[in-house]
Amino acid sequence: MKIINPFGILKNECQKLKKSTKPDLPLKESESTLRIDQSLDLDYDLVKIQQVGFTDPFAMQGVLVLKTDDGKEFPISAFSGEVARYISNFINTKRDSLPTIYHMIEQICEECELLMVKIKLYQSGNALRANLYFTGKKDLVLRNFRASDAVALAAFYSAPILIRKDLLKEKAIVKQ
């Protein structure tokens, strides 16, 4: 099994960007940048984090619910309680305590003048995975990373979260 270091990839891309960027050339508008007037990918829906919590009384395992504007939901669990706490803090604009790994991404983005523009969540086998989209002087897509970390970074950067439509479910209506 090959282990991929996402931060090594990001750092290498940053170094390539610094070597290849010519400031006198006009910047090309990105295909991956999510613009206000851009239509979304037809296979994905825009979701927001509706709830964040824990599945156990010891706060060891996190859970969150993503929800579309039209009421479709997708729960995510099986990630650490620590990540759930960070997501909750980021939603509440508490960004003063960053885990080292997220801080590293923030520093690389600042150094390379990159901005996270969106994440896309999808299922890969039995796991939920994510692609992270960055733009700046150059576009960068980090593929096949843990969904929980991607959602945490999207919450930190207030970036849009997109999820494959086939994963969403209608919310059950309980009659009383």
What residue segments make up the domains of the chain, in order of their start?
42-169
* Residue range 42-169 in CATH 1.20.58.710: no
Grade residue 100 by pLDDT with cuts at 50, 70 and 90: confident
Confidence at residue 97, expressed as pLDDT on a 0 to 100 scale: 78
Residue 24 has pLDDT above 70, yes or no: no
148 and 99 Cβ atoms separated by less than 8 Å: no
Residue 139 has pLDDT above 80, yes or no: yes
Higher per-residue confidence, 34 vs 58 = 58
- Over residues 91-116, mean pLDDT: 89
Residues above pLDDT 70, as percent of the chain: 73
Mind listing the pLDDT tens digit for each residue in 126-136?
A: 999 999 999 99
Q: Which amino acid is at 116?
A: M
